[in-house]
Structure 1
Amino acid sequence: MNSPTIINIIIAVALAVAGYFLLPVVAANLDPSLALALGLLLGGILVPVISSQFSGATAVEEQSDDENSKTLYVGNLPYRANEQAVQQHFELQGQVHSVRLMKDRRTGKRKGYGFVEMTNAGAEKAIQNLNDSEFQERTLKVRMAKDKVEE
C-alpha cells in the first residue's frame, strides 16, 4: 500500500470514531453502533473526495510544469557562483523552476557547470540572450540539456 492509501484509511477510521462519540451526543436517541456505521459511511464518501482535491490538484500542477518547462545546460560557470546567483541571473529571462550546480563527489567543489529548469519561453529567451554572455567574469555556454542516457 502506498502512503496516500494509508492516510485515507486513517482518516476514514478517525471519522468513524468521531461519529461513534459525537453523533449520540448530538442526537441523544441514536444508537452508538448506528453512529459508527454513519461515520464509516461518511468517511467512505468524504475521504476520496478530499484526497482527490489535494492529490489531483498537485498531480495536474506537476504535469503542467513538466509540459511547460525545459532544462538548460549552463557551462563555463564561475566556481564561486552559487544556485541563488545563477537563479537571479536567469530570472531576468523568465521564470526559473530550479537550479542544480554540479559538484565533485570527492572534494565537494563545484565543477563549473549546472542545469537550470525554466518555462519554455524563458528557456528560449535565456539561450538567445545568455549564451556567450559574461557572468561573474566568465563567458557562459547556454543550450538545451540533452536527455540523460541510461546505461
Structure 2
Amino acid sequence: MSFSCFIKLFIAAIVASLLGFFAVSAIDPASIPVASLFATGITIGTIFGGLLVALYPASDSASDTDNGGTSSIYVGNLPFNAGRDDIKNLFSPFGDVVDIRMVKDRRSKRFKGYAFVEMNSAGAKAAIGSLNDTDYAGRTLRVNESRKKEQG
C-alpha cells in the first residue's frame, strides 16, 4: 500500500471519528464515557477510510508513465561494490533520478548486484535504450522496465 493510501486512510479516520463523536454526543453524552465515544468514532473512521482507499486506489505506475510521471527501472548485473552514487551517476545523464533502491541480502546485508531506479519516464526510456547490454566495470548490465512483484 502506498504512502498516499495511508494518508487518505488517516484523514478519513480522523474526519469520521470527529463526526461520530459529535453525532453520538448529540444523543446523550452524560451516559457514555468520552473514551468509548472516541473509540467508536475511530472504528467508524477506519471502516470509512478502508472503503475510501478501496474505492479510490492510488494511480498505477503504468498510468503515471502515460502522463509524464516516473518509471521504475530494473538494473541487474551491477558490480557488488557499486554504491548509490555510482548508480546515480550512471543514470543522471538521462534524466532526474528520483529514487534508488539497492537490494541487499537479508542475512549478510551485502548488496546483491541489482537495484531499482526511479526516474522520469522519458529519461527511463532513454536510459534503458542506452544502458542495456553495455559494459560497466567489467560486467554487462541488464537494464529494463521493472515489473510489478507478483503476489502469491
The aligned runs of 1:6-21 (5 Å cut-off) are: none
Q: Which runs of 5+ in 1 are unaligned?
A: 10-61
Write the distance in 2 (CA, Å) between the matches of 1:139 and 1:125. Answer: 18
Provide the C-alpha distance between the structure 2 equivalents of 1:103 and 1:94, rounded to a whole number of angstroms: 25
Percent identical across equivalent pairs? 36
Q: How far off is 1:2 after superposition?
A: 3.3
1:112-131 per-residue CA deviation (whole Å, 9 max, x = no partner) reads 11100111100000011011
* Counterpart residue number, 1:133: 134
How far apart, in 2, do the equivalents of 1:75 and 1:2 lie?
A: 37
State the AA in 1 paired with 2:77.
N
Q: TM-score, normalised by structure 1?
A: 0.56
Matched residues in 1 for 2:101 and 2:150: separation? 18
1:18-37 matched pairs, under 5 angstroms? none
**Cα offset, 1:94, TM superposition:** 1.0
Which residue is equivalent to 1:102?
A: 103
Whole-Å Cα distance in 2 between the matches of residues 101 and 72 of structure 1? 12
Match of 1:2 among 3, 10, 35: 10
Cα RMSD after superposing both structures: 2.4
Q: TM-score, normalised by structure 2?
A: 0.56
Structure 2 distance, partners of 1:2, 1:123, is 33
Aligned to 2:42: none
Paired AA for residue 2 in structure 1: F
Whole-Å Cα distance in 2 between the matches of residues 87 and 124 of structure 1? 16
1:112-123 alignment runs, 5 A limit: 112-123=113-124
For residues 11 and 122 of structure 2, the distance between their equivalents in structure 1, rounded to whole angstroms, comes to 36
| Shift in Å, 1:83 | 1.1
Amino acid paired to 2:132: N
Count of aligned pairs: 96
Question: CA offset at residue 3 of structure 1?
Answer: 7.1
Structure 2 residue 146 is matched with structure 1 residue 145: yes
Tell me which amino acid in the other structure corresponds to 1:120.
S
Residue identity opposite 2:82 in structure 1: A
Measure the CA separation in 1 of the matches of 2:148 and 2:92: 23
Q: Which runs of 5+ in 2 are unaligned?
A: 1-8, 19-57
Aligned twin of 1:78: 79
Q: Match for 1:74: what amino acid? A: V
